[in-house]
Homo-oligomer: A and B are copies of this chain.
Amino acid sequence: MLIRPADPNTTTPVEMEDVSMQVMVGREDNAPHFSLRHFVVQPGGHTPRHQHNYEHENYIIEGTGTIECDGEIENIQAGDTFYIPANKIHQFRNNSDQPLRFLCLVPTTFDGDQATPGS
């Protein structure tokens, strides 16, 4: 049975400032439809302000910060859940002095059979 602990110490850096990621369940585990990733954003860090042709579903595990999506900016905290539709510009920012940890779910493929990056 696949059981993995979300562990901030085993995340690996990604191409973002002060951001690291751990794939909890993904394509390498033969997940057929969607992939569950664990992100850590260090104090003062942020994810890229970008958009892509697939959606996110997110759950805040720990910490506070802001989410920008499609021109709106909202404060976020543990327990908050978001839906970020495909093609909407979005960015997570950690403006606190503690790590911001969240889950980010993506489909394993998009545009038919394209493998979703980081899934």
Listed stretches A12-20, A42-50, A78-86, A92-100; interface member: A78-86
Contact A6 to B36, CB < 8 A, known contacts A57-B31, A105-B105:
no
* Complex CA–CA separation, A96 to B29 (angstroms): 30
* Complex CA–CA separation, A61 to B79 (angstroms): 9
Q: Which 7 A/B pairs are nearest by Cβ-Cβ distance?
A: A24-B81, A6-B79, A34-B34, A2-B83, A25-B83, A33-B107, A1-B69
A118 part of interface (Cβ distance < 8 Å): no
- Is A70's CB under 8 angstroms from B1's CB? yes
Contact A74 to B6, CB < 8 A, known contacts A33-B34, A81-B24:
no
- Cβ–Cβ < 8 Å partners of A30 in chain B: 85
Contact A6 to B59, CB < 8 A, known contacts A34-B105, A74-B1, A105-B105:
yes
Main secondary structure of the interface of A (DSSP, over half): strand
Q: What is the minimal beta-carbon distance from A68 to any residue of chain B, in angstroms? A: 9
- Is B57's CB under 8 angstroms from A59's CB? no
- Is A33's CB under 8 angstroms from B55's CB? yes
Closest Cβ neighbor of A22 among chain B residues: B81
